[in-house]
Amino acid sequence: MSASKSVRLIVGLGNPGREYEETRHNVGAWYVEALARQQGVRLNEDKKYFGLTGQCEVNGESVRLLIPTTYMNRSGQATSALANFFKIPVDQILVAHDELDLPPGTARLKIGGGHGGHNGLRDIVSSHGNQKDFSRLRIGIGHPGAAHLVTPHVLNKPSAVDRDKIERAIDEALSYSGDIFRGEIGKAMNNLNGFKA
């Protein structure tokens, strides 16, 4: 993504329903909820885009916010519906998601890459014609230590200590919203990637 290409769609991944909203798998959705509050945006359900959506104006450009209301493994249904309708190219999308390979209290930005086994990212890549060059905000949730523990780990609530660390990492990411909106991902990356709560 070049510096001149602003971000026009920011997506926060999670699972729908009250039973999932406080779980680790939903930290991407927490970020977009916090971003909406920061920008004074109200998120409303829009069945056409399979998610909660809102928009704000940044430097004269419309930026769309989206939290899919599909299950995680169908996230691409929502992102492709909205991006196709508003003609938003993949390289102007930022996806916020939980990251097992980072400890709680860290958040990292990156441009492009594989799905790393993340079902939400896998479906987004597939739904956008296998294009992978969207940006990602990887919010650390830590790894439980063994592969068979991953599913219960992501589908359970973090401890109070870890929740506090995750929220501090999200707050830190929010402080670079201006850079992210402008597409200055490299600048935001350099600042954010050294942070640890």
Residues with catalytic roles? 25
* 155/37 Cα distance (integer angstroms): 25
CA angle 141, 147, 152 (to 5 degrees): 60
* 101/151 Cα distance (integer angstroms): 14
The set of residues, in sequence order, having a beta carbon less than 8 Å from that of 66 and lying 6+ positions away, is: 9, 10, 11, 12, 32, 49, 51, 52, 53, 78, 79, 82
Residue found by looking up tokens 């990602």 in the block:
136
